[in-house]
Structure 1
C-alpha cells in the first residue's frame, strides 16, 4: 500500500469512512478495507482522493462529493473570512 502524498491543512475524515462503508455495501464488499480514499483542504481548495477505478470515482461523486459540494464550499468561504 502507498501513502498519500497530500498534506491537508484540514482533513475531512468522514469522507474516507463513508466511502469505505458505501464501497463495502454497494460495490466491492470486504475489499473496501484496502481503500485509501481521503479528502481534505489544500490551499483553501477541497481535494478528494479516490481509487482510480471508474466505479469508485462514480460512487464518490454521486453519493458524496456532488451532494455535499455546496456545504463544503460554504465552509471554505467561512474559513476565508
Structure 2
C-alpha cells in the first residue's frame, strides 16, 4: 500500500506573506479579467496560484502576486 502524501504547512509568518500576495493580486485584477471568471473561480485560481509557490519555498509576495496574475491571464486567454 502506498504511503499517504506528506502534509505541507506554512508558518503564521509565511501565511501572512501569502495573504499579502493574494490581496494584492485580487486588488490588481481588472474588469476584463473578472468578466471571464465567476467570483468564486477567480478567487480560487488566485489562492492556489499564491499558495503553491509558497509551499515550494517562495517567500517574496511580489513574485507570488505576479505569478498569480500571469496564471489568471493565461487561463483567460487560453
Normalising by the residue count of structure 2, what TM-score does the alignment of the two structures yield? 0.34
Select the structure of larger CA radius of gyration. 2
Structure with the higher helix share, 1 or 2: 2
Normalising by the residue count of structure 1, what TM-score does the alignment of the two structures yield? 0.33
Q: Larger RCO: Structure 1 or Structure 2 (Cα < 8 Å, ≥ 6 residues apart)?
A: 2
